[in-house]
A and B are shown apart, each in its own frame.
Chain A
Amino acid sequence: MAEEWIVETHDLVKKYGEHVALDSVNLNIKPGATGLLGPNGAGKSTLLKTILGLIALTSGGGKVLGHDIATEGAFIRQRIGYMPEYDCLIPEMEAIDQVRYSGELLGMNTNSAVQRAHEVLEYVGLRDQRYRAVSTFSTGMEQATKLACSLIHDPDLLICDEPTNGLDANARGFMLDTLFQVVKQGGRSIIMSSHLMDDVERICDRMLMIHKGQVIAQGRIEDLKAIDREIEISVWGGASKIEEKLKDMGQSVRRTGRVMRVTRIDDSTYGTIIKAAAETNVQIRKMEDYEPSLEDLFIVIMDRLGYSVKSSKDLLGGQTPTMDQAALQGRKVA
């Protein structure tokens, strides 16, 4: 049902002259936490600006929180909290005034904005620093202030652009915990753009991957991980021999010392590995399904992508898909 999506677009195209920033993008983002991934120049910023209703589209259309992207940008931005990646704070202002002002710019009256500014600054861990000028803040505190600015009106959708950029381990953990709570405790939705796969994996249950203006993958992370399902084995007594044998038997093998990962095509792969071990007289001391990280997934997708992806079918490389097709849904085939 259409009401289920917080963001849905149809054949969205945005061109800057000859350059195609977004190419027939079809998005369906459900409520919850969604990670936005893609290399530099992939079109992430353009997509975020589109979702915010800030740019005129070349063709196509869509809705964000039920509002039309092309005509109801102001309504959309009233219901979205946007946390930019880069500096956006007035250095000489105190945090409390900064957050209050960002609330007033949304249309909150001053009293409400002040009260809410205190609440959100406490929520992001800046209760005792709220009367300090932003220029005296560390990077983590600046990020927290930006998050407070974006949360002041209790948005339905929070868009975070690299929220952990420049943070140390403690501050990063605190920021991610806070965002996680916004989703789980507050029941709000997040679209989080990040280069850090761990961050996305920790917060998000869904992801959206963009490359060259095209959506190359979207869906549940768990489903998408099925692209890169492997079996990890530890061998003894001739790792090279079994590696060669497996390759001769048509398996894809990656090896580091005695540990190697064999691409799992289907259940028969286990039998193939055992057969290869028996024929080469090599011991298999451990065999288990390898759980790929999001980073593994990203690398695999980008490896398969090359520079001429046309659709998600290209991404799959013609091999038997072991994942839910609905999870890997990109643009329509050109």
Chain B
Amino acid sequence: MSEGEDFDLDDILQDSSTPLGEPAAPTTLPVPAAPAEAEFMGESAAVTGKARMEAAYGTGEGEGQGMAMVAQSVAPSAGTIFHQVYRPWRGNLNPRWVRNWSIFRHHVYGLFSKGHRPWPMTTKLLVVIVLFGSLIPILTMAMSVLTGLNGLMEFYGVSRANLWGHVLGVFHNTCCWPLLTALVVGGLISEDRQHGTSAIYFSRPVNRTDYTLMKYLSAAVILSMIIVFSYCAYYAAAILFNNEGWAYLLDTLPYFLGGLVAAFMLVVTFTSIGLALSSVSSGRFFPAVAFLGIIFGSRILAFLIKLLFERDTLYLISPYDNLAHVGQWMMGINTTYAFPAAWSFVALLLMNGISLYILISRVNSLEVTRE
């Protein structure tokens, strides 16, 4: 080999005079004898008992609860029972409202039945507890009628203050509605971002407006099922238990309607704020905590400012106090705030507007491909 020539291993091997040993005789792996009793559907071919999914995905032993056993013949001509055949579908796709209905149903039915949105058990439990809790006045009125204790009926019966209090009372807005909203609304959009589920929606003929509207409607309906339903049930029960007539109905209907509007305003405002927070995060925890922080934090801050400086204008930053103020004005109750109700109404509009703006812009940023 001359200097400078490349080293070539094959050339060296070829020049070597050492004879190479004879290669070992090839051996073949023993073919396992097919069990004679193994048959499938009358076929005599031997069955290895290998699971199809295990073969395809390597799920491992014992993982599958009901693995399909596939007959695999040792003889190459026998084939398997799994014939992968593509079947076309000849159906028609329904219009937009059916798609929107399926989104709505997915979220709302999920609270009650399997196969739809998998709500956490804590949320389902809280919904039931809050619903029954908000129906307690009805139970009390029923006991009053049954036992003849008129004091109970006077305390829990229909009045402007009681109608207002059922929706906007401090107890309900401390222990019930905010917690309910935080759990229901918290993960509605954030979990789509977290799990990438937005791709399932937006790669289908679902546009972002429909997506946002249906999410909003679903959350609002779930909250309404508790807040508005219990309010209406309370009013209806009071009429029934007291055996009231049309005159009573006509007298109290304006207050009832005022409370109803206030209830819807509460549902809309809480849903807007909750969904906006849900849209800016990925996960259930942050939106829920942030929502409670906004509701309670703003109230506490305004309360402290009032204590220190004797000015209550800061209550305008509290969603609850704005709702309570507007509700008092609508139901003709003496207001507990020093500023006009119109300010609170404008503040509510602003809160909803800002929340919806955040919600829409964040939903627009949801991606079909990876974010």
- Given A108-B94, A140-B57, A174-B56: A154 touches B89 (CB 8 Å cut-off): yes
Task: Say yes or no for A128: interface residue by CB 8 A criterion.
Answer: yes
Residues of A within 8 A of B93 (CB): 78, 106-108, 153
A130-146 contact mask (Cβ, 8 Å, vs B): 1 or 0: 00100000101100100
Partner of A181, one of B84, B117, B198, B199: B84
How far does the alpha carbon of A129 sit from the alpha carbon of B56 in the complex, in Å?
Answer: 13
Partner of B102, one of A84, A105, A161: A105
Residue of chain B at shortest CB distance from A102? B200
Find the residue from A106, A140, A153 having the highest chain B CB count within 10 A. Answer: A106
B79-102 contact mask (Cβ, 8 Å, vs A): 1 or 0: 000101111111101111011001
CB within 8 Å: A-B pair count: 179
Residues of B within 8 A of A97 (CB): 114-116
Q: Cβ of A90 and Cβ of B203 under 8 Å apart? A: no
Chain B contact surface mostly: loop
Task: Say yes or no for B310: interface residue by CB 8 A criterion.
Answer: no
Task: Say yes or no for A288: interface residue by CB 8 A criterion.
Answer: no
How far does the alpha carbon of A52 sit from the alpha carbon of B115 in the complex, in Å?
Answer: 28
How far does the alpha carbon of A168 sit from the alpha carbon of B89 in the complex, in Å?
Answer: 31
Task: Say yes or no for B206: interface residue by CB 8 A criterion.
Answer: yes
Residues of A within 8 A of B94 (CB): 107-109
Contact-size category for A: 35 or more
Task: Say yes or no for B103: interface residue by CB 8 A criterion.
Answer: yes
Residues of B within 8 A of A128 (CB): 52-53, 64, 66-68
Partner of A84, one of B115, B203, B205: B203
Task: Say yes or no for A291: interface residue by CB 8 A criterion.
Answer: no
B202-223 contact mask (Cβ, 8 Å, vs A): 1 or 0: 1111110000000000000000
Residue of chain A at shortest CB distance from B51? A128
Partner of A106, one of B196, B205, B207: B205
Residues of B within 8 A of A123 (CB): 84-87
How far does the alpha carbon of A149 sit from the alpha carbon of B200 in the complex, in Å?
Answer: 9
Task: Say yes or no for A269: interface residue by CB 8 A criterion.
Answer: no
Which of B1-9, B143-151, B246-254, B265-273 is the contact stretch?
B1-9
Partner of B199, one of A88, A108, A237: A88
Q: Cβ of B369 and Cβ of A109 under 8 Å apart? A: no
Q: Cβ of A258 and Cβ of B8 under 8 Å apart? A: yes
Residues of B within 8 A of A109 (CB): 94, 98
- Given A125-B56, A138-B58, A257-B10: A104 touches B67 (CB 8 Å cut-off): no
B178 CB to closest chain A CB, in angstroms? Answer: 25
Residues of A within 8 A of B90 (CB): 154
How far does the alpha carbon of A78 sit from the alpha carbon of B91 in the complex, in Å?
Answer: 12
B105 CB to closest chain A CB, in angstroms? Answer: 8
Q: Cβ of B88 and Cβ of A107 under 8 Å apart? A: no
Task: Say yes or no for A281: interface residue by CB 8 A criterion.
Answer: no
Find the residue from B52, B191, B199 having the highest chain A CB count within 10 A. Answer: B199
Interface residues in chain B, defined as those with a beta carbon under 8 Å from any beta carbon in chain A: 5-6, 8-11, 14, 52-53, 55-59, 64-68, 82, 84-91, 93-96, 98-99, 102-103, 106, 114-118, 191, 195-207, 368-370
22 contacts between A and B (CB under 8 A): A80-B203, A92-B118, A93-B115, A101-B106, A105-B99, A105-B103, A105-B204, A108-B93, A110-B102, A123-B84, A123-B86, A125-B84, A126-B53, A128-B52, A140-B56, A141-B53, A152-B89, A161-B369, A171-B57, A174-B56, A174-B57, A177-B84
Interface residues in chain A, defined as those with a beta carbon under 8 Å from any beta carbon in chain B: 45, 48-49, 52, 54, 73-75, 77-78, 80, 82, 84-94, 97, 100-102, 104-110, 112, 116, 119, 123, 125-129, 132, 138, 140-141, 144, 149, 152-154, 161, 168, 170-171, 174, 177-178, 181-182, 185-186, 236-241, 257-258
